[in-house]
């Protein structure tokens, strides 16, 4: 019972629906075409979710094709990381792994085809001369003095280019289109250049390499891609994409459709800037948990599902928008709230002594693993005379709205007892060193006492003797300006100096020892945290994935 026009399909899916309805295509083939010259970031995730998502929905297929036409920049290291990232996101190209370099032979033939049809020529001009001859946005270009070489001479020269007789930059092959075309891409674009550099797959077989424009559409056609989805900046290339399909004996007719790339506030997304952050050591690497790379996001503890949901939420349009990072974080919290097991952890410990609790006694309390999933049951948490609580959960001079522990005030220790603070112990300098408290045995398990007494807060705690010591890394946005891309001066001047805070003395509930690397859990009342790759059994390291929504912090800020 499918609605002929189910609500809120994006414009690309509407085009596909129509192509299927009119019989233009009887199946749908998309492709994700990264250049293996860097790590994937969340912007790529949008494209991956679109292309692989469409293939899944339409029961078609999505090819993974590496656009490896520039040997100077590319490396197999990146091929591997890109594959890993796509799989982590939950997508699969099946048998359809391709490389543009697989088509070098065919593309060469097609270049010869153009020459033979008088539609391409070898140009001896330098790149400076070519630039001068191209004209500009207001003025038409001028034709190259080599534009009207004979067919034979062009063929001969092109073959000698291939044979390695010329140095880099000495000659190029150009399509012969129109030097006065209003679209600069159509002013006799270069389609082959000489590059004497080893290619990561073809080695030194070639010393001439096709340009992106001469590769992409033809590769799509060779793979019978029906819809070639790319970002807006290729809009001006579409006429050229189509010109090659029109002028070459290609086996199919793909259609290029452009959509808007993903932008997030408070972050940079360009490969160049990301690379700079890594190379100048502003971050620890491509997988630094503050990076918008897929590997960074993964290490940070964002679930793949939340990235997929986020991409669904932001939609596909041609409007150049900037999304709120809070929307991403909300997707992350939504998934984690449902899935993450709860534990207690104290980030900044303050010692508590329960003076009326027997010295050697230890009790184990049952604590719910996840209130969203009661079927998961409970875990045991040890309680004893000496405990740690969060420094932020105690105030000596508490304002009225502060519900947590304060002198002569009572709170619930989660799943344990009502605890009253009786005495604040300080050192000579006046710093609070510990709190002396008493517990109410009638509130075992955290139950309300028979006298009907209520408390306004429940706080988390960890038994001092049983606690695991750990390092916890708190992350914040890398930039403190909304749009670090369009800022006067360098984007680096707007980095957030507090984007990483390391807490070396956190104390964890002992159950946390069993959490494997990469898994994200909730530290109750604090946020979601995952075990970092740096973590060892002896020295656990947790990353804060994202904090919980904190309405107390807001109240505090308002004063």
Partner RNA sequence: AACUCCAUGGUGUAACGGUAGCACAACAGAUUUUGGUUCUGUUUGUCAAGGUUCGAAUCCUUGUGGAGUUGCCA
Please identify every residue annotated as catalytic.
Answer: 35, 261, 271
The single residue among 371, 430, 450, 559 that binds RNA, judged by CB under 7 A, is: 371
Cα 515 to its chain centre, rounded Å, is 24
CB of 281 or CB of 554, closer to RNA: 554
CB of 288 or CB of 545, closer to RNA: 545
The single residue among 156, 233, 493, 498 that binds RNA, judged by CB under 7 A, is: 233
Q: How far is the CB of 383 from RNA (least distance, A)?
A: 12
CB of 402 or CB of 479, closer to RNA: 402
Q: How far is the CB of 559 from RNA (least distance, A)?
A: 12
- The total of other beta-carbon atoms located within 10 Å of residue 384's CB is 17
125/144 Cα distance (integer angstroms)? 8
136/131 Cα distance (integer angstroms)? 9
> Between residue 382 and residue 441, which ones bind RNA under the rule CB under 7 A?
401-404, 412, 414-415
CB within 8 A of 197, min separation 6: which ones? Answer: 71, 72
Burial pattern 4-26, b for ≥16 Cβ within 10 A else e, equals: eeeeebeebbeebbebbeeeebe
CB of 258 or CB of 288, closer to RNA: 258
CB within 8 A of 464, min separation 6: which ones? Answer: 351, 384, 386, 387, 388, 507
Considering only 78-86, 114-122, 327-335, 423-431, which stretch makes contact with RNA by CB under 7 A? 327-335
> Between residue 185 and residue 214, which ones bind RNA under the rule CB under 7 A?
185, 189-190, 193-195, 209, 211-213
502 forms bridges with which residues in the sheet?
Answer: 473
> Between residue 18 and residue 37, which ones bind RNA under the rule CB under 7 A?
33, 35
CB of 155 or CB of 327, closer to RNA: 327
User: Residue 275 class from Cβ within 10 Å (0-12 exposed, 13-18 middle, 19+ buried)?
Assistant: middle
The single residue among 97, 151, 163, 184 that binds RNA, judged by CB under 7 A, is: 184
The single residue among 380, 453, 469, 549 that binds RNA, judged by CB under 7 A, is: 549
**Six-digit token string for 138:** 């207001």
Q: In which order are the strands placed within the sheet that holds 61-66?
A: 29-32, 61-66, 97-99
CB within 8 A of 395, min separation 6: which ones? Answer: 402, 404, 405, 406
DSSP 208-242: EEE-HHHHHHHHHHHTT-SEEEEEGGGGGGHHHHH
Residue 287, CA distances (Å) to 39, 290, 294, 298, 516 in order: 9, 8, 8, 8, 18
CB of 107 or CB of 531, closer to RNA: 107
User: The tokens 């990469």 sit on which residue?
Assistant: 518
Q: How far is the CB of 156 from RNA (least distance, A)?
A: 18
63 forms bridges with which residues in the sheet?
Answer: 31
- Applying CB under 7 A, the site for RNA has a residue count of 94
Q: How far is the CB of 281 from RNA (least distance, A)?
A: 24
The single residue among 27, 164, 169, 374 that binds RNA, judged by CB under 7 A, is: 169
> Between residue 332 and residue 361, which ones bind RNA under the rule CB under 7 A?
333-334, 337, 342
Taking CA 407 as the corner, what is the angle to CA 404 and CA 413, rounded to the nearest 5 degrees? 40
> Between residue 283 and residue 322, which ones bind RNA under the rule CB under 7 A?
313-322
> Between residue 452 and residue 471, which ones bind RNA under the rule CB under 7 A?
457-459
- Please say whether the beta carbons of 485 and 268 come within 8 A: yes
Taking CA 553 as the corner, what is the angle to CA 550 and CA 558, rounded to the nearest 5 degrees? 135
The single residue among 142, 276, 330, 496 that binds RNA, judged by CB under 7 A, is: 330
Q: How far is the CB of 537 from RNA (least distance, A)?
A: 26
> Between residue 474 and residue 533, which ones bind RNA under the rule CB under 7 A?
522, 524-525
Burial pattern 465-501, b for ≥16 Cβ within 10 A else e, equals: ebbeebbbbbbbbbbebbbbbeeeeebeebbbeebbe
Q: How far is the CB of 127 from RNA (least distance, A)?
A: 4
Q: How far is the CB of 517 from RNA (least distance, A)?
A: 23
The single residue among 136, 423, 505, 519 that binds RNA, judged by CB under 7 A, is: 136
Q: Per-residue x/- mask for RNA, residues 107 to 126, rule CB under 7 A?
A: ------------------xx
> Between residue 44 and residue 103, which ones bind RNA under the rule CB under 7 A?
67, 69-70, 73
The single residue among 117, 205, 236, 356 that binds RNA, judged by CB under 7 A, is: 236
CB of 286 or CB of 523, closer to RNA: 523
Long-range contacts of the stretch 493-501 (C-beta < 8 A, 24+): 495/282, 499/290, 499/475, 500/290, 500/473, 500/474, 500/475, 500/476, 501/473, 501/474, 501/476
Q: How far is the CB of 459 from RNA (least distance, A)?
A: 6
CB of 8 or CB of 536, closer to RNA: 8
Query: Counting contacts by CB under 7 A, is residue 255 touching RNA?
Result: no
CB of 170 or CB of 498, closer to RNA: 170
CB of 248 or CB of 288, closer to RNA: 248
Q: What is the 3-state secondary structure (H, E, C) of 277-309?
A: HHHCCCCCCCCCCCCCEHHHHHHHCCCHHHHHH
- Please say whether the beta carbons of 263 and 321 come within 8 A: yes
Query: Counting contacts by CB under 7 A, is residue 260 touching RNA?
Result: yes
217/160 Cα distance (integer angstroms)? 26
Considering only 88-96, 167-175, 199-207, 466-474, which stretch makes contact with RNA by CB under 7 A? 167-175
Q: How far is the CB of 536 from RNA (least distance, A)?
A: 27
Query: Counting contacts by CB under 7 A, is residue 137 touching RNA?
Result: yes
Q: How far is the CB of 539 from RNA (least distance, A)?
A: 26
The single residue among 270, 326, 355, 422 that binds RNA, judged by CB under 7 A, is: 326
């Amino acid at each position: 019972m499918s609605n002929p026009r189910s609500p809120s399909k994006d414009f690309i899916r509407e085009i596909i629906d129509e192509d299927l309805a009119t019989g233009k295509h009887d199946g749908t083939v998309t492709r994700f075409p990264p250049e293996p010259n860097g790590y994937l970031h969340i912007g790529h995730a949008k494209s991956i979710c679109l292309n692989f998502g469409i293939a899944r929905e339409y029961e078609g297929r999505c090819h993974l094709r590496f656009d490896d036409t520039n040997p100077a920049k590319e490396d197999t290291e990146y091929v591997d990381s890109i594959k890993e990232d796509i799989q982590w996101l939950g997508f699969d190209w099946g048998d359809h792994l391709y490389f543009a370099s697989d088509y070098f032979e065919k593309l060469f033939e097609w270049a010869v085809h153009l020459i033979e049809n008088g539609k391409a020529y070898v140009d001896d001009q330098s790149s400076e001369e070519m630039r001068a001859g191209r004209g500009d946005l207001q003025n038409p270009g001028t034709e190259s003095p080599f534009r009207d070489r004979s067919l034979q001479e062009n063929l001969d020269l092109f073959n000698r280019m291939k044979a390695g007789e010329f140095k880099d930059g000495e000659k190029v092959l150009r399509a012969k289109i129109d030097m006065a075309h209003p679209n600069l891409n159509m002013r006799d674009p270069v389609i082959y250049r000489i590059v004497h550099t080893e290619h990561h797959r073809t080695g030194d077989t070639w010393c001439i390499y096709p340009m992106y424009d001469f590769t992409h559409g033809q590769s799509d056609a060779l793979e019978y891609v029906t819809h070639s989805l790319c970002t807006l900046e290729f809009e001006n290339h579409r006429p050229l994409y189509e010109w090659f399909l029109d002028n070459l004996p290609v086996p199919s007719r793909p259609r290029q459709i452009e959509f808007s790339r993903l932008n997030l506030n408070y972050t940079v997304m360009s490969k160049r800037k990301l690379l700079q952050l890594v190379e100048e050591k502003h971050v620890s690497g491509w997988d630094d948990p503050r990076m918008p790379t897929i590997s960074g996001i993964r290490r940070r503890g964002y679930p793949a599902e939340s990235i997929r949901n986020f991409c669904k939420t932001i939609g596909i349009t041609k409007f150049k928008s900037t999304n709120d990072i809070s929307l991403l974080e909300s997707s992350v919290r939504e998934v984690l709230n449902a899935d993450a097991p709860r534990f207690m952890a104290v980030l900044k410990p303050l010692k508590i002594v329960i003076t009326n609790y027997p010295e050697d006694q230890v009790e184990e309390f049952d604590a719910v693993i996840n209130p969203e999933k009661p079927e998961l049951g409970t875990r045991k948490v040890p309680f004893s005379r000496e405990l740690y609580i969060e420094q932020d959960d105690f105030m000596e001079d508490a304002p009225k709205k502060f519900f947590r522990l304060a002198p002569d005030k009572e709170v619930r220790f989660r799943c344990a007892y009502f605890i009253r603070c009786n005495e604040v112990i300080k050192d000579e300098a006046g710093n609070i060193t510990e709190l002396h408290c008493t517990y109410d045995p009638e509130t075992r398990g955290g139950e309300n006492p028979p006298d009907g007494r209520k408390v306004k807060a429940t706080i988390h705690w960890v038994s001092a003797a049983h606690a695991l010591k750990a390092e916890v890394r708190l992350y914040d946005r890398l930039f403190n300006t909304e749009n670090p891309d369009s800022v006067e001066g360098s984007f680096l001047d707007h980095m957030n100096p507090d984007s990483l805070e390391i807490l070396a003395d956190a104390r964890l509930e002992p159950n946390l020892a069993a959490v494997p690397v990469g898994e994200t859990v909730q530290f109750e009342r604090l946020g979601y945290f995952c075990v970092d790759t740096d973590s060892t059994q002896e020295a656990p390291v947790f990353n804060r994935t994202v904090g919980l929504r904190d309405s107390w912090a807001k109240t505090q800020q308002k004063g």
